[in-house]
Structure 1
Amino acid sequence: MIRSLRVRLMLGAATLAALFMLALLPVLQGAFRSALEGVIEQRLAADAATLISAARIESGRLSMPERLPDEEFNLLESKLLGFIYDRDGTLLWRSPSSGDERIDYRPRYDGEGYDFTRLHDERGVEFFVYDLEVDLLRGQAAAYSIVTMQPASEYQAMLDGLGRQLWLWLGGALLVLLGLLWLGLTWGFGSLRALSRELDEVEGGNRDHLSREHPRELLRLTDSLNRLLDGERRQRERYRDSLGDLAHSLKTPLAVLQGVGEALAEREQARVLQSQVERMSQQVDYQLQRASLRKSGLVRHREPLAQTLETLCGALDKVYRDKRVRVWRDFPAELCVPMERGALFELLGNLLENAYRLCLGQIRVGARATADGCELLVEDDGPGIPVDQRARILQRGERLDSQHPGQGIGTAVVVDILDSYDGELQLEDSELGGACFRMKLPG
């Protein structure tokens, strides 16, 4: 499917212009044919008048001079033929130029005055025929048909040449028309390009609203987009205020829990509690920051993967210490992920928590830098995810594992985070036997 509006308009205009040219071609050819036949008829009429001026009636008989005023009638190789018939259609005289022609023509003396038609000789050669009835010749009563003829071959050659010229002219006109149309569309689409630039500025945070300096046809669209932007901005502010209130209400309880954890730091369970309280505090800070920052503000961060993974695995190893999970690290030690620290903790935390819960004993975290960003993998040796269920588990509230507690939002949160960074998530089968979460992040 053609996705360019300008190309669609060009193809549509080119098709209509080509159809118009094809319809115009036979009209022009017909007009030229009629004009050319009119010229030939006038010429043959003038030649018939020449014969009439040269004719005499002597002793009741037609008399013609040996040489006619028009030399074309006197030359054997000439293509202008002349004949004179009586009332009964009997040939009385023929011009010297018609000496070798075998033309079976019978004039019809019916009082109509003249007739312009075509005929073919014995060889199939086509002629134009002008037949003029004469009732009075130099003051004397007469009843003759003065006939002049001309081959149609020259006429057909002119028509063929005109047809070729018309194809060239109309084809050239079509190309010029399409070129002008392309320039016109380029100029006309300048307003759309200006609108696109303003939208880019809105997306980049450099503009709050679209201007009204656009054609009238686009003002309704820009007004609707401005109302949508205002509504989105108000909604984002409500979310930010709600998250701010939530963060404020959780800060004090978290501080109390953290203080209790520090007081009981000598116990193993207290250290686990303290690490989880710190993680909760970090996530509250991250969610508050995410509500107030735009996407462009988050993309600028780069976080070391090894350090984040070490922190998360240390906490999860204590929670799932009975499983003795082994985590394989398959990435360079210095590799950094183009993501803010809190977002990376949230992303890996959800995926690793699922992997720890469902694996049999092995997890592999792989990563590599790519030409356009970074690719991150989290694999396990658990039961895996059926192909027909992979789209379902990415939806908020959907869970395949009903034997463990949870709200079914972990993978949905992962998708939300990746969307905010223009990333992609693919679910595949792991070489370990379980599920593989493959994530691609732009750099």
Structure 2
Amino acid sequence: MLGAAVLAVLFMAALLPVLRGAFVIALEEVIETRLAADAAALVAAARTDSGHLVMPEKLPGEEFDKLDASLLGYIYDRDGRLLWQSRSTLGEPVQYVPRYDGIGHEFLRIGGETEGFFVYDVEIDLLRGQDTALSIVTMQPTRDYQVMYRGFMDQLYLWLGVALVVLLGLLWFGLTWSFRSLRGLSAELDEVESGHRESLSEEHPRELLRLTRSLNRLLDSERRQRERYRHSLDDLAHSLKTPLSVLQGVSEAMADQPQNREQAQTLQSQVERMSQQVGYQLQRASLRKSGLVRHRVQLGPLLDTLCEALDKVYRDKQVQVLRDFAPDLGVPMEQAALLELLGNLLENAYRLCLGQVRVAARQVGGSCELWVEDDGPGVPAEQRERILRRGERLDALHPGQGIGTAVVKDIIDSYDGELSVDASELGGACFRVRLSE
């Protein structure tokens, strides 16, 4: 609409000098016609006597005889000497000398805009059957038409302004009516992104049907691929679970024999490590952001579920979880992904805290920020980047492979988010997550 409005204003601005020029041309044509008629009246009244010009006392055009009239008349010979002038020319400072050059007639403007004159100069070489060489000149001051010109320009500005307003209204109506189908398509896409609709409808103009059908094919392909991916991961997890269980049983049987106890412990630790790595890789592969469908999960209920489970695991600590977010705040992430992300961050906070954990979230501009803080020992500034790498751990007192934080970072990266580690006001570490809407 802004672009159309700019074009409309530019069109009106370009139209203004065109209309003004057309009016000036039409006005000058009218003036020329009138002055030509007045010159013809002087020619009809003129006669010669013994080679001398003779003009009647009373001319046919009364305006030539009025002192305050705006119509002026002059007659010159071929050498530019003034032979006759009308009474209306008295007191008019006209500086004009005709040129008898055989052109016939000439219309021009002399002087300035306010003190100038329109001049019609016609040459005659035959008067009442006698050879002669005269220049008949009629004039009219330009000031007589200034009022008319200003009035026309005022009306032109007014009506062009009205036309511009009407044109902008029509453009707004036309664009609004034309783009209503796109608004409908946009609304359906919003429903698809929010998960309330699986595909786009066919109730769109013919020009958009190819687009909607292509988007529907893309949605269906994505949905099928995601399902095949999930089924393949489930099959892989199931196929790996059995061999690992067998190895775990073998290690337990070996542990009952004193001579094999050391080998059994090594085997058990490696089996446990394999199990954790397999779980990590499966989580990393499955927790990916959808291409077209957007999700939003309420943070409060999900946090209740996680805290309830962690309170049972760390019941000896009696951890107090502080909440600092709106009750209806939603995080732009799939539920499984958010459960895995927040579960890892909270598990680290529960494990390392002294007694307090705080979870805060805010909507900042076009993004959602999430903080998980604790009052534990914290993370030294020089070690904060290292713990985000896979397999890096600072806590050597508890078992694990150091992949929990790496899972969190992979999930955030898949959503084009950011993860950073800072010092918390509680005294421990603060894990800050930033997700785009």
| Superposition TM-score, scaled by structure 1 size | 0.70
| Pair 1:18-2:16 in alignment | no
| Pair 1:67-2:78 in alignment | no
Q: What is the aligned partner in structure 2 of residue 192 from structure 1?
A: 182
Of all paired residues, the percent bearing the same amino acid is 54
Q: 2:373 aligns with which of 374, 378, 393?
A: 378
Question: Does the 8 Å CA contact 2:370/2:433 hold for their aligned counterparts?
Answer: yes
Matches for 1:7-406 after TM superposition, within 5 Å: 10-120=1-111, 125-205=115-195, 207-245=197-235, 299=297, 303=301, 308-309=306-307, 311-316=309-314, 327-331=319-323, 346-355=340-349, 359=352, 362=354, 364-367=356-359, 377-379=372-374, 380-383=376-379, 389=385, 393=388, 398=390, 401=393, 405-406=400-401
Q: What is the aligned partner in structure 1 of residue 269 from structure 2?
A: none
> What letter matches 1:116 in structure 2?
F
Q: CA–CA distance in 1 between the matches of 2:294 and 2:370?
A: 20
C-alpha displacement of 1:202: 3.1
C-alpha displacement of 1:180: 1.4
Secondary structure of residue in 2 paired with 1:303? helix
State how many pairs are aligned: 391
Q: CA–CA distance in 2 between the matches of 1:239 and 1:410?
A: 24
C-alpha displacement of 1:149: 0.6
Cα deviation code 1:4-51 (max 9, x no counterpart):
xxxxxx222222333333233222222222221111111111001111
Question: Does the 8 Å CA contact 1:303/1:341 hold for their aligned counterparts?
Answer: no
Q: What is the aligned partner in structure 2 of residue 264 from structure 1?
A: none
Question: Does the 8 Å CA contact 1:338/1:374 hold for their aligned counterparts?
Answer: no
Question: Does the 8 Å CA contact 2:118/2:140 hold for their aligned counterparts?
Answer: yes
Secondary structure of residue in 1 paired with 2:232? helix
Question: Does the 8 Å CA contact 1:303/1:338 hold for their aligned counterparts?
Answer: no
Q: CA–CA distance in 1 between the matches of 2:148 and 2:328?
A: 79
Q: CA–CA distance in 1 between the matches of 2:89 and 2:186?
A: 79
Question: Does the 8 Å CA contact 2:424/2:430 hold for their aligned counterparts?
Answer: yes
Secondary structure of residue in 2 paired with 1:362? coil
> What letter matches 1:79 in structure 2?
S
Q: What is the aligned partner in structure 2 of residue 5 from structure 1?
A: none
Cα deviation code 1:343-401 (max 9, x no counterpart):
886445311333356x4x535323579899997643243115679949x93xxx64653
**Structure 1: gaps (5+ residues):** 1-9, 258-279, 319-324
Q: CA–CA distance in 1 between the matches of 2:83 and 2:339?
A: 117
Q: What is the aligned partner in structure 2 of residue 408 from structure 1?
A: 403
Q: What is the aligned partner in structure 2 of residue 272 from structure 1?
A: none
Q: CA–CA distance in 2 between the matches of 1:219 and 1:82?
A: 77
Q: CA–CA distance in 1 between the matches of 2:361 and 2:82?
A: 103
Greater Cα offset, 403-412 or 168-177 = 403-412
Question: Does the 8 Å CA contact 2:8/2:164 hold for their aligned counterparts?
Answer: yes
Greater Cα offset, 94-103 or 426-435 = 426-435
Quote the RMSD (CA, aligned, Å).
4.8
Secondary structure of residue in 2 paired with 1:196? helix
> What letter matches 1:53 in structure 2?
A
Q: CA–CA distance in 2 between the matches of 1:117 and 1:187?
A: 53
Q: CA–CA distance in 2 between the matches of 1:338 and 1:57?
A: 107
Q: CA–CA distance in 2 between the matches of 1:162 and 1:336?
A: 64
Secondary structure of residue in 2 paired with 1:78? coil
Cα deviation code 1:322-349 (max 9, x no counterpart):
xxx78443359xx899799988864453
Greater Cα offset, 135-144 or 374-383 = 374-383
C-alpha displacement of 1:61: 2.2
Question: Does the 8 Å CA contact 1:48/1:147 hold for their aligned counterparts?
Answer: yes
- Structure 1 pair 202–140 and aligned structure 2 pair: CA distance change class (3 A): same
Greater Cα offset, 344-353 or 80-89 = 344-353
- Structure 1 pair 161–381 and aligned structure 2 pair: CA distance change class (3 A): farther
Question: Does the 8 Å CA contact 2:341/2:407 hold for their aligned counterparts?
Answer: no
Q: CA–CA distance in 1 between the matches of 2:298 and 2:354?
A: 33
Secondary structure of residue in 2 paired with 1:115? strand
| Superposition TM-score, scaled by structure 2 size | 0.71
Q: CA–CA distance in 1 between the matches of 2:87 and 2:157?
A: 41
Secondary structure of residue in 1 paired with 2:100? coil
Q: What is the aligned partner in structure 2 of residue 3 from structure 1?
A: none
> What letter matches 1:189 in structure 2?
F
Cα deviation code 1:167-221 (max 9, x no counterpart):
3333332322222122121112122122123323434555433234434443443
Greater Cα offset, 381-390 or 187-196 = 381-390
Cα deviation code 1:60-104 (max 9, x no counterpart):
322222222211111111111011112222211111111112323
Question: Does the 8 Å CA contact 1:415/1:425 hold for their aligned counterparts?
Answer: no
> What letter matches 2:401 in structure 1?
G
Q: CA–CA distance in 2 between the matches of 1:51 and 1:298?
A: 94
Q: CA–CA distance in 1 between the matches of 2:221 and 2:240?
A: 28
